[in-house]
């Protein structure tokens, strides 16, 4: 009888521990510059790559997930965007370098909303601009010979014609 009671107690204890760990369970993300960031499990839900890993390992312990390609700066920017519910205004404040990095991380971690947001922000920089503008804006050096460029413009005429005729 006594033995059984102990057993019972042990089961209860384990259950309580489990529940406790579920409630406060955190994921530790280790960035490329060695910073460990503890994030809520709900945050990780959007990071499908990590989520898939967690589902596969099915461990009770909190997980440490290394992100060798993500700096702590970028990761904190991502957290800001997530907690700001992906506000367009926040995206506008990012530098182009940040935008690119975040877009790449979003792709790597399979964060659909963030990827969509940042990719469209990058596309916005290119949309409806002239070749000259894009070159100037992105500091691109034109490495075509004049002949090559003339030829290229000719073969791409189709995309530009019929807009302001008549």
**Residue 135 makes contact with another protein by CB under 8 A:** yes
Which among 48-56, 59-67, 70-78, 121-129 is the span making contact with another protein, rule CB under 8 A? 121-129
Give phi and psi for 114, each to the nearest 5.
-65, -40
Question: Under a CB-based contact definition with an 8 Å cutoff, are residues 66 and 104 in contact?
Answer: no
- Which residue from 69, 109, 66 is spatially nearest to 118, judged by alpha carbons? 109
Closest CB 58 distance from another protein, rounded Å: 29
DSSP string, 69-121: T--HHHHHHHHHHHHTTS-HHHHHTS-HHHHHHHHHHHHHTT-HHHHHHHHHH
**Residue 115 makes contact with another protein by CB under 8 A:** yes
Q: How many angstroms from the chain centroid is the CA of residue 56?
A: 21
**Residue 124 makes contact with another protein by CB under 8 A:** yes
**Residue 45 makes contact with another protein by CB under 8 A:** no
Q: Which is nearer to another protein, 23 or 141 (CB)?
A: 141
Distance of alpha carbon 122 from alpha carbon 99, whole angstroms: 7
**CA distances from residue 87 to 23, 76, 81 in whole angstroms, order as listed:** 28, 15, 7
Q: Which is nearer to another protein, 57 or 130 (CB)?
A: 130
Of residues 95-114, those binding another protein (CB under 8 A): 95-97, 99-100, 103-104, 107
Q: Which is nearer to another protein, 37 or 101 (CB)?
A: 101
**Residue 67 makes contact with another protein by CB under 8 A:** no
Residues near another protein (CB under 8 A) are: 95-97, 99-100, 103-104, 107, 115-116, 119-120, 122-131, 134-144, 149, 151-156, 158-160, 162-163, 165-166
């Amino acid at each position: 009888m006594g033995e059984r009671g102990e057993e019972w107690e042990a089961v209860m204890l384990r259950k309580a521990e489990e529940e406790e760990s579920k409630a406060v369970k955190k994921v530790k993300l280790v960035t490329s510059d060695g910073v460990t960031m503890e994030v809520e499990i709900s945050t990780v839900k959007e990071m499908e790559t990590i989520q898939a890993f967690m589902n596969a390992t099915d461990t009770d312990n909190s997980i440490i997930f290394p992100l060798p390609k993500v700096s702590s700066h970028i990761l904190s920017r991502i957290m800001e965007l997530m907690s700001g519910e992906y506000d367009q205004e926040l995206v506008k404040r990012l530098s182009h370098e940040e935008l690119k990095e975040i877009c790449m991380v979003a792709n790597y971690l399979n964060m659909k909303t963030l990827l969509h947001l940042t990719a469209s922000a990058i596309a916005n920089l290119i949309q409806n601009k002239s070749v000259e503008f894009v070159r100037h804006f992105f500091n691109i050096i034109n490495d075509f010979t004049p002949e090559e460029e003339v030829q290229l413009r000719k073969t791409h005429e189709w995309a530009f014609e019929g807009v302001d005729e008549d």
